[in-house]
Amino acid sequence: MAEVLEFDRRAGSNAPLMRDEALAALERGAVAYLPHEAFEMREEERRFLDPAIVAQPRKHAGRARIIYLPASRRLLKSTLQGQDRQDLEAMMKRFSDWARDLIVELFPTYMPGLEQGPASFRPCPRTGPQRLHVDSFFLFPTEGRRVLRVLTNIDPDGRPRVWQFGDEGFEPFAQRLLPRVRREIPASGWLLERLGITIGKRTPYDHMMRQLRNMTKVDDEYQRDTPRRVMEFPTGSSWIVFTDQVLHGALAGQYAFEQTFLLDIDVMQEPARSPLRILENLAGRRLA
């Protein structure tokens, strides 16, 4: 069964011993669950609890969301203009800062290797369940860095955010699929970056992870039969998980925030647990 570690800081669990326990659990594939800690919207920001503020994609797959890029302070996918847009951007920056402060406070050893990726706000309900998968991004290759996500449920009607987590560990998952992975075309990652198709170099690791993700998503038998844990995250709670390692999928919910971080594996407590090192050991070669 997928491991969930409850992290209730009201009871003093921010002590160094608890932080070390949570860090070790997180790196071995657990979900760090904070049942009484969530980002709080201000009263004047509650006007943004409206799906109409999101520019809907042509093909809706439950992924309609506001996106905020902290590095460039850019707001994407919103229909708002003028002062409303500026206020929404300010809220997204405040959430992004809150998520970073949370990670740095809980796991201070991660700070030197932590890079903020996109933040998102999801006021739209999911249109359907998301299949189990591990995260890998075509446009933004990680180049071997970890994908660490902070998520928080702020649903004003008290509805849970429902996720599923696969029981299969990353190493047996990768070992099972590795014989079907096609080797990358030499210099293809360099070419994709030079042509502006990817933002960053697509390494052999990124190539491999993308195939693992895609093969899993289209495997109907696996999606139907593999053991999993379904978890309901109530309003006012948050959870933290390495989504490049843990098989996961969002099933239901509305009104949530999430922040993605990229983490250098050198600051991990146990770098050998990273997908990069596991895949390199299985493949017998450097991948990033």
Residue-averaged pLDDT of the chain: 92
Task: Give a yes or no: residue 228 inside a domain.
Answer: yes
CATH code for the domain of 101: 2.60.120
Work out whether the CA dihedral 178, 179, 180, 186 comes out positive or negative. Answer: positive
Could you read off the pLDDT of 197-240 as tens digits, one per residue? 777 888 999 999 999 999 999 999 999 999 999 999 999 999 99
Number of structural domains found in the chain:
1
Across the range 248-252, mean pLDDT stands at: 97
Residue in 94, 110, 133 with CA at minimum distance from that of residue 32: 110
Whether 288 maps to a domain, the answer reads no
Question: 10-29 pLDDT, tens per residue?
Answer: 765 555 556 788 899 999 99
Q: Is residue 116 part of a domain?
A: yes
272 compared with 57, residue with greater pLDDT: 272
Q: What is the C-alpha separation between 162 and 149, in angstroms, rounded?
A: 16
102 is a domain residue: yes
pLDDT at 100 over 80: yes
* Structural domain for 229, as ranges: 4-283
What pLDDT, on a 0 to 100 scale, did the predictor assign at position 60? 53
pLDDT at 140: 86
pLDDT higher than 60, residue 244 = yes
Q: Which residue intervals of 5-50 are DSSP H helices?
A: 16-27
Q: What is the model's pTM? A: 0.93
Residue 106 lies in a domain: yes
265 HSE (CA, 13 A, CB side): 17
Confidence of residue 167 (pLDDT cuts 50, 70, 90): very high
